[in-house]
Amino acid sequence: YRLVLRYSCDAKTGGGKLSARFGGGKIELEVPSTGGWNRRRELVIGPFEITGSRADLILEPGKLSASASYLMDLNGLWVQPIAPPAGPAKP
């Protein structure tokens, strides 16, 4: 699976580190600026492997950038399955 976050982030007053835990996986990353609080973009995080029928999703802010008061403005979040790689063609 992968997570798709729709967000906005201003380089002067936002940004920093984000930790995403989903199932048994954990990914830490830097939240890139979108060019302002009114400009949105999508950030894809993954892949995550889910075993079983249930998985907790936890997003945690880490250390903010030096001049930041906020990490980001999260507008939406989608959990999408990732298709397995295609195997060889069958005759």
Distance of CA 29 to the CA centre of its chain: 8
49-74, pLDDT tens digit by residue?
988 888 999 999 999 999 999 999 99
Cis peptide before 91 (omega within 30 of 0): no
What pTM value is reported for the model?
Answer: 0.84
How far apart (Å, rounded) are the C-alpha atoms in residues 15 and 33? 7
Helix H or strand E encompassing 6: strand 2-9
Residue type, 17: K
The phi-psi region of residue 86 (left if phi > 0; otherwise alpha if psi is between -120 and 50; otherwise beta) is beta
For 5-61, the pLDDT digits (tens) are 999 999 999 999 999 999 989 999 999 999 999 999 999 999 999 888 889 999 999
Number of H helices, E strands in the chain: 0, 6
